Amino acid sequence: MIVIPALDLRAGAAVRLAGGEYSREQLRIGDPLAVARMWERVGFRQLHIVDLDAAFGIGANEQVIGDVLASTRMDVQVGGGIRTDDHIEGLLERGARRVVVGTQALEDAEWLDDAAARFPHELIVAADVRDRRVVTRGWLHTLPADIIETVHELNDLPLAGVLVTAVHRQGLQRGTDLALMEDVAGAASIPVYAAGGIASLDDLRALSDRGVSAAIVGLALYSGAIDPRAAAGEFEE
C-alpha cells in the first residue's frame, strides 16, 4: 500500500475543511506549491489534489494546479468538479497521472462508460459513503445502490481505481471505517483508495492488511498525528 497526502485547494490556498463543510476551515496555508514541494521532500511519491472551488461550483484553482503539475516529480492525481472529457484531457496533457471523477461518474453511467474507454486506466471514481450508501452533490443526494453494488459495476470498466471516502469519519481523526474498507477491497477487482478518518500509522497498517492499495491522508499528516517521514518510508508501494 502507498500513502498519498491530500492537497485541497480553496481560493488559491491549501486548506483542510472541518467535517467536509466548505465554510469551516481547520487549516489554511497560503502557498500550496510550497506544501506540494514539502511532501515531495519528505519522500512521498504521489499527491492527491482536490479543487474544492470547482467541486462546489464557485470557481477554480487551475493556475495553482498547473503550477504544482509543472513543479513536481510526484505522480499527481487531480479531482474536483470534473464533468467533461475536455477537462480530463486537459489535466492529463498538463501532467496529471490520473483524474478523479465523482458525481458526474456516479450519476451518469453512460458518460462514465465512454470516458473510461477514452481514458483507460487514467480515471479514479470517487465514491463518498455514509451508512454504506453512496452520496453525491456535497453529500446531499443519496444514490439507490450501496457501495458494494457500485464497486461491482465499476469492476467492469478500465479504471485506475475507486476512491472510497468514509464521510462519517472525515476530519475527525478517530480512525477510518475498517469494516467498510475491508468489504470494498474484497469486492473490488480494481485498486481501492481509502480516505476518511485515518489518524495513525496503525490505521494505515490495518488498511494495508485488508487489501487497500492506497490511503489518502489529510489532516493527520498536516497536524503531525501521523509522522510524514515515517508514513512515506513505510508505505511506498
* Catalytic residue status for 128: yes
Q: Which CATH architecture has domain 2-234?
A: Alpha-Beta Barrel (3.20)
pLDDT of residue 175: 79
Report, as an integer, the average pLDDT of 184-190: 98
Mark residue 12 as left, alpha or beta (left: phi above 0; alpha: psi -120 to 50; beta: remaining): left
Report, as an integer, the average pLDDT of 160-186: 86
Statement: residue 32 has pLDDT above 90 = yes
Catalytic option among 51, 53, 128, 177? 128
pLDDT tens for 86-103 read: 999 999 999 999 999 998
Statement: residue 228 has pLDDT above 70 = yes
Catalytic option among 8, 51, 53, 183? 8
Domain boundaries defined on the chain = 2-234
pLDDT tens for 69-89 read: 999 999 999 999 999 999 999
pLDDT of residue 140: 56
Provide the β-strand partners of residue 51. Answer: 9
13-17 and 2-10 strand pairing: antiparallel
pLDDT interval class at 236 (50, 70, 90): confident
Report, as an integer, the average pLDDT of 15-44: 82
Furthest-apart CA atoms within the chain: distance in Å: 43
Read off φ and ψ for residue 45, nearest 5 degrees. Answer: -105, -10
Report, as an integer, the average pLDDT of 228-233: 97
pLDDT of residue 21: 58
Based on the number of CB atoms within 10 Å of its own CB, is 78 exposed (0-12), middle (13-18) or buried (19 or more)? buried
* Catalytic residue status for 31: no
Statement: residue 126 has pLDDT above 70 = yes
Report, as an integer, the average pLDDT of 185-196: 97
pLDDT tens for 196-227 read: 989 999 999 999 999 999 999 999 999 999 99
Statement: residue 22 has pLDDT above 70 = no
